[in-house]
Amino acid sequence: MLALEDVVLRYGRVEAVRGVSLNVEHGELVGLIGPNGAGKSTTLAAIMGFLNAASGSIELDGRSLTGTGPERVARLGVALVPEGRHIFPTLTVGENLRLGATVRSDVDAVTADCDALQDRFPVIRRAWRRRAGGLSGGEQQQLAIARALLSNPRLLLLDEPTLGLAPLMVDAIFDVLGELREEGMTILLVEQNAIRTAGLADRTYVLRSGRIALQGTRAELADRPDLASLYLGL
């Protein structure tokens, strides 16, 4: 579904990503892990069209995304759960959720999906009329994921969904991602939680200093006791 080939990304003269190649097949959950500053979020920004590649190619189902802006990428079926969640604190939880449906015109199906998402994330039902800024960090993260799912994406991108969350909420988020994978959702997961990600994903890429340092399946990486040190570049 998604293919990056020799992608170079720059901020001015600073090269943040240096020839990255990766792919995500239909129905896969693929992890992209690495330390701070490795280029993970920059890679997602390029896929979504927030940043143009200096060279290389990014394709969705064989179609080039070069020069495609974020709104068009979203309408092609790609949804991003950004780092930091970016919910609107003065809007209600329900209003925040329904923002995910702006790319859809199937009103009846949107209503049904809203109900289903409230079943998946009970906090949304409980807090539907409350201002979203009053939710805890973990609750806001659930809302951000639900908002992205309401767009009915073909490809879901997640940027550090467990960052700063309590251990129980980290477990809850990984449980949801496991459920989505079992349901056939195609996911590219950017995470600093290397061991949990490699244990969940079908395949995982380790990004370090803007380059892919290692890649492997869940089984292959399970046999790498040095994964943490490779992740850190030790």
Instruction: Note the pTM of the prediction, 2 decimals.
Output: 0.94
Q: Which residues pair with 80 in a beta bridge?
A: 157
CATH architecture of 1-77+155-164+186-234: 3-Layer(aba) Sandwich (3.40)
pLDDT tens for the chain, 234 residues: list them: 999 999 999 999 899 999 999 999 999 999 999 988 899 999 999 999 999 999 999 999 999 998 899 999 999 999 999 998 899 999 999 999 999 999 988 988 999 999 999 999 999 999 999 999 999 999 999 999 999 999 999 999 999 999 999 999 999 999 999 999 999 999 999 998 888 999 999 999 999 999 999 999 999 988 777 776 766 654
Q: Are 204 and 215 in contact (CB under 8 A)?
A: yes
CA-CA distances (angstroms) from residue 70 to 45, 53, 80, 146, 148? Answer: 9, 14, 10, 19, 14
**Strand order from edge to edge, sheet including 155-159:** 78-81, 155-159, 186-191, 29-33, 203-208, 211-217
Which single residue is written with the structure tokens 């890429």? Answer: 205
- Residue 103 has, within 13 A of its CA and on its CB side, a CA count of 19
Instruction: State the Cα–Cα distance between residues 95 and 132, nearest whole angstrom.
Output: 9
Which single residue is written with the structure tokens 């800024």? Answer: 133
Give residue-wise pLDDT tens across range 56-73: 999 999 999 988 999 999
CA 204 to chain centre: 13
Q: Are 96 and 139 in contact (CB under 8 A)?
A: no
Instruction: Work out the end-to-end distance of the chain between its first and last CA atoms, rounded to an integer number of angstroms.
Output: 33
Six-digit token pair at 227?
Answer: 């994964």
